[in-house]
Amino acid sequence: MFSKLVFSTLLFFSAMAFAQNTKAPNTVLMRGEPVRTYSHLPAINKPAPKFTLTDVNMNDQTLDSYKGRYVILNIFPSVDTGVCSASVHHFNEEAGNLPNTVVLCISKDLPFAQKRFCGAEGIKNVVMLSDFRSDFGWNYGVEMIDSSMKGLLSRAVVVIDPSGKIIYEEQVPDISQEPNYDAAIAAVKS
């Protein structure tokens, strides 16, 4: 009897610890249809989760590579869609006007596709990074976990200050819509 009580108590506390470490899914829309992401974006005023992503030359890039600068994370499903392409173009135009700021455009696209896109579109002011072999989507809560988009990243913007703290985040409610560029830019300028 005593061993059953001890076992039940241990099982209960193990389940509670697991529940506290498990993130709750978030729901966004894709043309009005619900799509779940792994979790929510990291909270404002918290340190940005570290990451290692792959650049267009197949080199690893980490968040620490940009320490001491404002970092805008432009996160999206694929450069081969109209809205994603528009966000890269918009941030490419804005990036040249933002002192001490780098814009990282992050998707699951392979680095080869990102490089082709930048060359064909004249993109030179942003850094394209691929999440094709990392856990960025899970750490930032943006990887879609169901629908035909499963495995891709949802549309979001995160702004990190030079000390590494998140000062702005936007999970775009419907991934078929563009992010609030003005709010992201204002976070860097404030």
Predicted pLDDT at 97: 86
One-letter amino acid for residue 60 of the chain: D
CB atoms within 10 A of CB 90: 18
Q: Would residue 84 show up in a list of annotated catalytic residues for this protein?
A: yes
Closest CA to 26 of 188, 156, 168: 156
State the virtual CA torsion across 58, 60, 66, 70 in degrees, nearest 10: 70
Query: In angstroms, rounded to a whole number, what is the distance separating the alpha carbons of residues 144 and 175?
Result: 11
Which candidate in 84, 149, 175, 185 is catalytic? 84
Q: pLDDT by residue for the chain (190 residues), tens digit each?
A: 555 544 455 444 444 444 434 567 888 888 888 999 999 999 999 999 999 999 999 999 999 999 999 999 999 999 998 889 899 999 999 887 899 999 999 999 999 999 999 999 999 999 999 999 999 999 999 999 998 999 999 999 999 999 999 999 999 999 999 999 999 999 998 8
Please give the Cα distance from 105 to 56 (Å, whole number). Answer: 11
| Model pLDDT, residue 44 | 96
Q: What is the pTM of this model?
A: 0.86
